[in-house]
Amino acid sequence: MKKLLISLFVFFSLLGVAAIFLNSYLKNQLQQIIKKDLPSSINLTYEDLNIDSWGGNASMKNATVSIKANDSMPRSEVNNATVTLKGLDHWDYFRNKNIHFKKITIHADSLSHYQQVKKETKKPSKDSTNKNPIKAENINGSFNIEEFELVTNYIQIFKPKTKEILLKTAHFNLNLQNITPTITETITRPFNYERISLSYDSLYYQINDFDELTVQNVHWDGSSLQMTNTLLKTAVSRTQLSNSISIERDHVNLLIKKITIDSLRYGERSGKFYINTPLIQLEEPSLNLYRDKLIADDLSTKPLYSKMLRDLKFDLMVNSLKIKNGSIIYTEKVNQGSESGSINFKNLQANLTNVGNTYKENEKKTKIAIKAIFMKQSPMTIDWEFDVQNKQDKFYLVGSLSKLPVTNLDGFTSPNLGVEMQGNIAHTYFTITGNDYNSHIDMQMTYDDFKVNILNQEKKKKKWLASTIANIFISNTSKREDKGFKEGSGDVTRNQNKSFFNYLWINLKDGMLKTVTALD
């Protein structure tokens, strides 16, 4: 018994010595790899390195990784990180060059990336940091990580040549399951994985010189993407924007309480990037748009939505996009001496189907169904459809509007058009067929006690003579018509330097003018 105990003691002592020697050997080998074998563009420093050879574990504390774009400009940095590697089968690695970890965890204070100034594309060098390091052909044996976790307090991306922040997030948490090499070098998916969980808070992204995007929280489970309190806004005031631009642009404030994208799929297919989802839901979007019309017009060509979808540089298919309980306020300033005019929509519900560009002509149509309350009390509907692949951008739109006291429009028509209206519109129905060049509108209205006042906008007074002459040509009621409806139709030529909503507006204006005037 005594000899057995002594033998066991000697055996485990030898194992302990062997473990100490192996830990020391592996630590030295890893240090040499870090010192000599990393690409020259990568610099890794750390405070402490621990190896547990029997468990296949390793840890690195207070590590900083810097990836350089050149001698003076960093590309990316990871600061004050603790890296833990668990369950490495080192025997399999030494024998067969197979890399297999049970779990890799990185906890870092921050991740920073510095955008580089775009240059002409050159053939990448052997030391290029653009290469995918775990592309299958770059690995001698097999490669697998059962679980990978990245946690960092914040991530930030800086603009080229400056330290101005372009994008930042807080409390970033990424978890990947069963990572294996990919056979391509696509930047959209540099490796394969079975499951993903991604979440972060306080996203900030500077879209351009004027507008910025913030999101309170983002979560993605590999299928469903959810974003709460998404805000797209112009960062400066309306006055500051007007003083900063030479051609007109919208001052935007868009808040969406919740965005949900179901079964999101993306990647590359036949060399082209694609995005597919069966459903996007926008809950309680609130849009406030302001345009200063005293600024010079933007005379660039404004494509219709069908062409915009058709000309996307990637494949898109959204089977259904739903908007719940939305609201819109649109304000225009047309004259220096008068207040800005506004129109508004509330309780807006919309359903868009086949929003994409992957189907053939005449195979499907993009359809948009909208219901809303116009100017606080008037129900309205719009049903609109078009074929994205139709090169003439043909569209068909049917709408209705009910219970509208036209005096509700004075806040918009008085300052913007110099017109006040009186009366009540009980029902309005309209149908518009058109394309990118011209359109035709048919309108039916039931209304009573309708007349207009033409205003002197500088003096803010009624022009009596102009108003009297205008009302001579207006049929002030539809009651004398068969079935109480008065009908009118008109033809409109599109100004391609203006938006689709301008196109819609001039159709409605022409249809209404042709309907209410007494002249045929």
Buried b (16+ CB within 10 A) or exposed e, 375-396: beebebebebbbbbbbeebbbe
Is the pLDDT assigned to residue 406 strictly greater than 80? no
Report the 10 Å Cβ neighbour count for 143.
19
Is the pLDDT assigned to residue 69 strictly greater than 80? no
Which of 109-118, 309-318, 450-459 has the weakest average pLDDT? 450-459
Which of 70-79, 286-295, 344-353, 486-495 has the weakest average pLDDT? 70-79
* Nearest residue to 233 via CA among 207, 261, 258: 207
Tokens for 61? 């504390």
What is the Cα–Cα distance from 53 to 84, expressed in whole angstroms?
A: 14
Q: In the prediction, which pLDDT does 457 show?
A: 56
Phi, psi values for residue 87, rounded to 5°:
75, 35
What is the Cα–Cα distance from 515 to 441, expressed in whole angstroms?
A: 11
Question: pLDDT band at residue 129, thresholds of 50, 70 and 90?
Answer: very low
Q: In the prediction, which pLDDT does 418 show?
A: 58
As a whole number, the mean pLDDT across the chain is: 81
Q: In the prediction, which pLDDT does 480 show?
A: 63
Is the pLDDT assigned to residue 207 strictly greater than 80? yes
Helical segments of 245-393, H only? 305-310
Q: Which helix (H) or strand (E) holds 467?
A: helix 464-472
Mean pLDDT confidence for 292-296: 92
3-state DSSP call for residue 10?
helix
Is the pLDDT assigned to residue 467 strictly greater than 70? no
Tokens for 158? 């800086």
Tokens for 232? 């797209």
Report the 10 Å Cβ neighbour count for 191.
17
Mean pLDDT confidence for 240-261: 96
Question: pLDDT band at residue 115, thresholds of 50, 70 and 90?
Answer: confident
Residues 6+ apart with CB under 8 A from 520: none
Mean pLDDT confidence for 195-221: 94
What is the Cα–Cα distance from 507 to 520, expressed in whole angstroms?
A: 18
Tokens for 352? 């868009």
Q: In the prediction, which pLDDT does 258 show?
A: 98
Mean pLDDT confidence for 215-232: 95
Percentage of the residues of the chain whose pLDDT score is greater than 90: 45
**111 versus 317: which is more confidently predicted?**
317
What is the Cα–Cα distance from 171 to 497, expressed in whole angstroms?
A: 44
Percentage of the residues of the chain whose pLDDT score is greater than 70: 73
Q: In the prediction, which pLDDT does 32 show?
A: 57
Is the pLDDT assigned to residue 51 strictly greater than 50? yes
Q: In the prediction, which pLDDT does 172 show?
A: 93
Question: pLDDT band at residue 514, thresholds of 50, 70 and 90?
Answer: confident
DSSP string covering 88-145: --HHHHHHH--EEEEEEEEEEEEEEEEPPPP----PPPTT-TTS-TTBGGG-SS-EEE
* Nearest residue to 431 via CA among 399, 391, 387, 455: 399
Tokens for 442? 């048919």
Q: Which helix (H) or strand (E) holds 157?
A: strand 143-158
Mean pLDDT confidence for 41-68: 74
What sign does the CA torsion over 344, 350, 353, 358 have?
Answer: positive
Mean pLDDT confidence for 307-324: 97
Is the pLDDT assigned to residue 74 strictly greater than 50? yes
* Nearest residue to 106 via CA among 46, 18, 19: 46
Is the pLDDT assigned to residue 5 strictly greater than 50? no
E strand intervals along 293-392: 315-333, 341-356, 366-374, 378-386
Mean pLDDT confidence for 179-205: 78
Q: What is the C-alpha R_g of the chain?
A: 33
Is the pLDDT assigned to residue 218 strictly greater than 80? yes
Cβ–Cβ under 8 Å, residues 109 and 153:
yes
Report the 10 Å Cβ neighbour count for 478.
23
Q: In the prediction, which pLDDT does 371 show?
A: 98
Helical segments of 234-290, H only? 238-244
Query: What pTM was estimated for this model as a whole?
Result: 0.83
Question: pLDDT band at residue 7, thresholds of 50, 70 and 90?
Answer: very low
Give the largest Cα separation in the chain, rounded.
125
